[in-house]
Amino acid sequence: MEEYHIKAMEEVMRGCEFAEQLQQLLLNNNTNNLMKTPTSIFVQHLVNNVINSFNNTIFLMSKGNPSDQIQKEFSSIAPVVRSVDFKENWKKTSATRGCNKRRNITQTWEKVTQTPTDDDGHQWRKYGKKKINNSPYLRNYYRCTHKFDQRCLTTKHVHRIQQKPPLYKTTYYGHHTCGNLPNPDIILDPNDTSSLLLSFNNTFPTPTKQECPFLSSPSSFSSTHSEEYNDEVPSSTLVNTNLPCSDLTLHNSTLEYGHNDMMHGLLYDTVQFNDDFFQPFDGFVVE
DNA sequence: TGTATTTGACCCAG
DNA sequence: CTGGGTCAAATACA
């Protein structure tokens, strides 16, 4: 490993830290000012993209440089990119039981179903249930079956919220990074008028599986729906002009957008929006 | 016998 | 201190 290479790596990591500090600053600012403007949301997207670019760069720079030093440095940022047995490593690094409480996962969403075992196309393993305060019902906790074999850290909670008719609220935390992507027919249930899915071209070159062994399969969220799912948005079509997003999903008041991360494959972020979000601004063109 | 679920313990953020 | 998220041993099941 050349010394200048290590220096470059350190510099990129420093840039990534600065971007993360800026991201935190924006998040705090948005928390204090409850009104989010389209511009502030867009700025957050840009910062997220900067961080993703840094992470991609770090990933690429670490390739072919399996020296102890670079691996050690890299593992602090992307511990998932290591080819050791994940389950054993998880046991070693996750300290003691129950220590992973309230992971800082901002990507959450909910849905209400009439059955507790709604088929969302993924395989889940139940790992706990809990009596929740002020609720007569137990909350069930599930994790992705592929937590250890494919390092998918997605979890969901299912909590009954109504006796008659029976209703269950499912809260998802994070997105699947396992290869077991859901059946698009399930995701794009034509009877489900509560969600809207839009497809965008991705301006970011998608790495191949060979280039990135942890990359998920190409997105199955690529179908385009417009006219029939326009309950909550105008019947216009949003066109991506300069955002490196691959998918946008609109669900109630949450906008979810996907972007390609070279280490984890397709990742998603969500933003809350208010009504003026749909006014045209620099990021989007309304046809 | 291997896999899934149950359940009490553990831990930490608020 | 408490509520809630997770772990892991015990148990159930195929």
CA angle at residue A247 from A245 to A250, to 5 degrees? 115
CA of A263 to C1' of B6 (A): 36
Strands (E), A7-133: 108-113, 124-131
Query: Going by C-beta distance under 8 Å and a sequence separation of 6 or more, which residues neighbour residue A220?
Result: A181, A182, A183, A184, A187
Strands (E), chain A: 108-113, 124-131, 138-144, 155-162, 167-173, 195-199, 238-240, 247-251, 254-261, 265-272, 284-286
> Contact A48/A23 with Cβ under 8 angstroms?
yes
Q: Which residue is nearest to nucleotide B12 (CA to C1')?
A: A101
Closest C1' nucleotide to A157's CA: C5
CATH architecture of A108-173: Single Sheet (2.20)
CA–CA separation, A170 vs A147, rounded Å?
A: 19
Pairing of strands A155-162, A167-173: antiparallel
CA of A139 to C1' of B10 (A): 19
* HEC-encoded secondary structure of A170-233: EEEECCCCCCCCCCHHHHCCCCCCCEEEEECCCCCCCCCCCCCCCCCCCCCCCCCCCHHHCCCC
Closest C1' nucleotide to A159's CA: C4
CA of A100 to C1' of C7 (A): 9
CA of A127 to C1' of C10 (A): 14
CA–CA separation, A280 vs A263, rounded Å?
A: 33
CA of A82 to C1' of B7 (A): 33
Query: Which pair of structure tokens corresponds to residue A158?
Result: 């299912």
- In a structure prediction context, what are the per-residue pLDDT tens digits for chain A, which is 287 residues long? 566 666 777 777 777 767 777 776 766 665 555 445 666 666 776 777 777 677 667 666 655 454 444 444 444 443 333 334 566 666 665 555 655 555 555 567 777 777 776 667 778 899 999 888 888 888 999 998 887 777 777 888 888 887 777 888 888 887 777 655 443 333 333 344 333 222 222 333 333 333 333 333 332 222 222 222 222 222 222 223 333 333 444 454 555 555 454 444 445 555 444 433 333 333 333 33
Q: Which residue is nearest to nucleotide B8 (CA to C1')?
A: A128
Amino acid residing at A137: Y
Protein footprint on strand C: which nucleotides are under 7 Å from a CB?
2-8
